[in-house]
Structure 1
Amino acid sequence: MAITPISEPARPAPPRSALPWQPGHPVWQLGFRPFYLLAALFAAVSIPLWLASYMGVATAPLQVSMGWHMHEMVFGFAVAVVVGFLFTAGRNWTGLPTPQGWHLMALAGLWLAGRVAMLAAPAPVAAAIDLLFLPLCAWPLFQVLRRSGNHRNLFLVGLLALLTIANGLYHASAMDLLALSYFVPVQAAIFIIVLIESVLGARVIPMFTRNGAPGSTPVSSPKRALVAVGLMAAAGVAWIAGAPGLLTAPLALAAGAMSLANLLAWQPQRTLRVPLLWILHLSYAWIGIGFLLLAAASLDWLPASVAFHALTVGSMAGLIIGMMTRTTLGHTGRPLKAGAKEAAMYWLVQLGALARLLAAVGPAPLAIAALLAAGVCWSAAFILYAVTYAPYLWRPRVDGREG
C-alpha cells in the first residue's frame, strides 16, 4: 500500500510561521500528515489501555471492552491510515486537490471526536459521531476521481461505502438494535481492508521491487492478482455468512495459495537488504498465511483469532508501518531510504504479530506473557514512528514543494 510522489511543478511551501491551529500549517496540507500521526499515537495508547482492561485493571469511566478494542483497531486506527493514504494517492492519481486546510482539519477533528466518543459518550452519541467520518471522507475522494475520469480507482469509494455499512451494523449490534454479534461486522471490515491492501499491493510492490532491489525482475500478473482478490472476497463472504467449513476452507485455502504465488513471483528474496521493500513483502505474505489459517479455523482446527490476528497485526499493521514510513519520506521530499529506526519499527510489528498468534494458541501462563509481549512490541513500534516522524509530518517539505 505504498506510493511514490509524482512530478509536479514546484510551489511555495506554506509559511513556517503558521501555527498548528491555522489552516496554512504544514500538517494540514495533505491527508497523510495528520492521519498518519494521529493513527500512530492512537495505536500506541489504545493497546495498553485494552490490555489493562483485559488484565482486570479498572479503566472506568472509560468504556473499554472487547467490542471497543475490535472496533477501534479497525474503524479507528486502520481507517485513519486508509483515509490518509487515499487522500494522498488521490491527489497523485488525479492531479486535483484532496482535502487540505480547514477541510482536512475538520475531518481530523471529527475522527478524533469519534475516538473520544467511543470511549466516553453514550452509545447513540458515539455512533452518530463515528458514522459520519467515512462518508465525509469518501465524498471528496469520489469527486476528484470522477472529475478526473479516473474510473480505475472508483472501486475504492465503493469499498469505503461497504466499510460504512459494516460500521453501522457494528453500532446497531452494540446497541442491541440488531440480532447480530458485533464480531461479524468487524470481521467483514477486516476482509474489506485486506482487499484494499491486496489490490494496491499487487499494483505497487512489484514496481517498487524492480526499482529498489538491484538485480530483481519481479513478474506482475494482473490476471492472477484479480483471481486472488476474487478468491479472498469469496472466502470472506463464506466466512461472514457462516457457510459450512467444507465450503469456506477450500475457498480460503485457494485464496491463501494464490496470494502467496503472487508474492513469490515478485522475488521477495531480492529485498532482504532493503528494509523499505522487505517489510512490504513480508507483510503481504501474512495475507496468504492469514487465509490459510482461516481455512484451518473454518474446520475448527484453530481459533478464528489466530487467522484474524495474522490478517490484522501481521499483514495490516505491517503494511501500514511500511507504507507510513515510505510515503512520509517520499511526500516530505526525503530520500526513500530506511535506517535503523525504521528497521526497528518493522521488526517490532512482526515480532508482535508472532507473539499475538502464540497468545491465541499457547497455554494460559504462556499466552498471557505472549499477549503482553505483543502489546509492548506494538506500542513501541508506533511510539518510535511518532517520535521519529512527527517532525517530518509537522514541517514543510524539505524540497520546498507543496504537500
Structure 2
Amino acid sequence: MPAIVTRILGEGFRVFFLSAGLYGLFVGLVWGLWLAVPYMAPDYGMTPPMWHAHEMIFGYATAALGGFFLTAVPNWTGAPEARARFITLAAALWLAGRMAMWFSGMLPPVFVAVVDLAFVPVLAAKILTQLIRRPKPQNLIFLLLLSLIWAADLLTHLEWMGITADTLQTGLRAGLLSLCAMIAILGGRITPAFTRNAMKRDGVPEADWPVSVAALDKAGMILALILPLGALLFGAGPVAGAGALALGAVQILRMSRWRTRWAARQPILLALHLGLGMLALGLILWGFSVLGIGNEVAALHVLGIGCVGGTTLAVMSRAALGHSGRALIAPAPMVVAYGLMAVAALSRWIGAELNAGYMVAMLLSDGLWVCAFALYLIAMWPALTGPRAGRAG
C-alpha cells in the first residue's frame, strides 16, 4: 500500500478532514451545476434540493465530526487512538452512505437508509469505548447529540421510504440544529480556551484573558440540548422559536467576554469566533422566522453555511496543522477561505430574505463555498497527506 494511503488511513483527522473537504467541494459543485442547468439533475429518490440539504448535514458535517472526535476524545480520556483498521472501516461506511445517496434513484429506499445510517452508530460506539475510561458527563452529552443526529437522519429516510408523510423537513431541521448544538457546546469550550492560550503565550496579563461564566455556559448547554430535541419531537413552532432566541442571546453574552477583538490579530482564532458569531446570528434569525418575522430558509442557511461551514473549516484547519506538527498559523489561502465562507452565508441570507436577485445570490453563495473548500484543500493538503513536521504540535 502506498505510504500516503497508509498515512491518511492511520489517523482519523487525516482521512475524515480530507473527505469532508473533498465532499464539501463536490456537493457545492454539483449544486451549482444544478442551479445553472436544472435539467441536468439526475433522478434521485428525492428532489435535488433535498439531496443537497441532506448531504450537507448528514454527509459533509458527519465527516467533520468523525475526524474531530476520533482525534479529540483520546486526548480527553487518555484512551488509545483508533487503529488504522477501524478508521478504514469507518471511512468506508461513510463513503458507502454517500454513494447510496448519490445512486438513490436506482436503489431500494430501505437499502439506501440502512447504508446511510450505518456510519454514525459505529462512530458513536467507538467514542463510547474511549469515553468510559473517564466518563465525564460534559463529554458523554456528545453521544446524545450524535444520537439526535442519527434520529434526525432516520426521519428523512422514513419519508423517502413512504413510511411517514411529513418527517423529512423535521429531520433536516433537527439535524442542522443538532450540529449547531454540538458547536455551541464544543465551541463554547475551545474558543475561549484557545484564545486564552494564545494570549498567555503573547504575555497578555491574566486580567485581560477571556472569561467563561459558569451560569452562562450551563444555560447555553441546556438550551443547546433542548432545542434540537424539541425540534425533533415537535417540529418548528413558537416554543422552538423562543428557545432559539434564548440560546442566541446567551451565545452573544458568552462571546462578549471572549476577547474577540484581540483574537482578530490571529485569523485561525478569529475564524472560531466568527463561526460562533454566525451561530448566535443564525439562531436569532431562525427564532424570529419561526415566529413569523423573516425568512426561515434564509436563517437556516446562516446556520448551515456561516456556523457549520465556517466553524468546521476553522476546527479542521487548526486540528490538521496542530496534529501534523505544524505551527498554528493559518496559511494565506486558508485565511481567504474563512472570509469567503462568512460572505457566502451573508449572500445566501440576503438573497432569500430580500428576494432580490435570488438566483444570483444563490449562485454567488455556492461559488464562494466552492472556492473556500478549494482553498482549504490547497492549504491543508500537506498537513492532511504529508508526514508530520519536525516541530511539536
Q: TM-score, normalised by structure 2?
A: 0.91
Give the equivalent residue in structure 2 for 1:58. 40
How far is 1:179 from its partner? 2.5
Of residues 104, 118, 121 in structure 1, which corresponds to 2:101? 118
Q: Is contact 1:93–1:150 with CA below 8 Å preserved after alignment?
A: no
How far is 1:147 from its partner? 2.9
Give the equivalent residue in structure 1 for 2:190. 204
Q: Is 1:258 aligned to residue 250 of structure 2?
A: yes
Give the equivalent residue in structure 2 for 1:388. 379
Q: Is 1:90 aligned to residue 61 of structure 2?
A: no
Q: Is 1:49 aligned to residue 38 of structure 2?
A: no
Q: Which letter does structure 2 place at the counterpart of 1:35? A: F
Please list, as runs of the form range in 1=range in 2, the aligned pairs for 1:33-44 lying within 5 A after superposition: 33-44=14-25
Of residues 153, 160, 163 in structure 2, which corresponds to 1:177? 163
Q: Is 1:267 aligned to residue 253 of structure 2?
A: no
Write out per-residue CA displacement over residues 51-98 of structure 1, whole angstroms, 9 at most, x where no aligned residue: 322441413256661221111001100011011100100111122223
Q: Is contact 1:50–1:69 with CA below 8 Å preserved after alignment?
A: yes
Q: Is 1:26 aligned to residue 7 of structure 2?
A: yes
| Distance (whole Å) between structure 1 residues aligned to residue 236 and residue 296 of structure 2 | 14
Judging changes above 3 Å, is the alpha-carbon distance between structure 1 residues 375 and 95 closer, same or farther for their aligned structure 2 residues? same
Q: Which letter does structure 1 place at the counterpart of 2:311? A: L
Q: Which letter does structure 2 place at the counterpart of 1:371? A: M
Give the equivalent residue in structure 2 for 1:160. 146
How far is 1:172 from its partner? 0.7
| Distance (whole Å) between structure 2 residues aligned to residue 252 and residue 194 of structure 1 | 11
| Distance (whole Å) between structure 1 residues aligned to residue 18 and residue 249 of structure 2 | 35
| Distance (whole Å) between structure 1 residues aligned to residue 97 and residue 60 of structure 2 | 11
Give the equivalent residue in structure 2 for 1:397. 388
Give the equivalent residue in structure 2 for 1:286. 278
Other structure's SS at 2:373 match: helix
Q: Is contact 2:191–2:273 with CA below 8 Å preserved after alignment?
A: yes
Q: Is contact 1:145–1:151 with CA below 8 Å preserved after alignment?
A: no
Please list, as runs of the form range in 1=range in 2, the aligned pairs for 1:2-401 lying within 5 A after superposition: 18-21=2-5, 25-55=6-36, 56-60=38-42, 65-121=48-104, 122=107, 123-213=109-199, 214=202, 215=204, 216-240=208-232, 241-242=234-235, 244-245=237-238, 247-363=239-355, 366-399=357-390
How far is 1:132 from its partner? 0.7
Judging changes above 3 Å, is the alpha-carbon distance between structure 1 residues 244 and 349 closer, same or farther for their aligned structure 2 residues? closer
| Distance (whole Å) between structure 2 residues aligned to residue 278 and residue 380 of structure 1 | 19
Q: Is contact 2:181–2:228 with CA below 8 Å preserved after alignment?
A: no
Q: Which letter does structure 1 place at the counterpart of 2:85? A: W
Aligned-pair Cα RMSD in Å: 2.1
Q: Is contact 1:239–1:298 with CA below 8 Å preserved after alignment?
A: no
Identical pairs, percent: 31
| Distance (whole Å) between structure 1 residues aligned to residue 120 and residue 377 of structure 2 | 24
Other structure's SS at 1:369 match: helix
Write out per-residue CA displacement over residues 268-316 of structure 1, whole angstroms, 9 at most, x where no aligned residue: 1111111011111111011111121122102222121122111111111
**Count of residues paired in the alignment:** 381
Other structure's SS at 2:344 match: helix
Judging changes above 3 Å, is the alpha-carbon distance between structure 1 residues 303 and 329 closer, same or farther for their aligned structure 2 residues? same
Q: Is contact 2:148–2:228 with CA below 8 Å preserved after alignment?
A: no
| Distance (whole Å) between structure 2 residues aligned to residue 140 and residue 67 of structure 1 | 30
How far is 1:138 from its partner? 0.7
Q: Which letter does structure 2 place at the counterpart of 1:158? A: L
Q: Which is worse superposed, 74-83 or 216-225? A: 216-225
Give the equivalent residue in structure 2 for 1:9. none
- Higher-RCO chain (CA-CA 8 Å, sequence separation at least 6): 1
Q: Which letter does structure 2 place at the counterpart of 1:79? A: T
Write out per-residue CA displacement over residues 336-377 of structure 1, whole angstroms, 9 at most, x where no aligned residue: 11232121110111111111111212335x111111110111
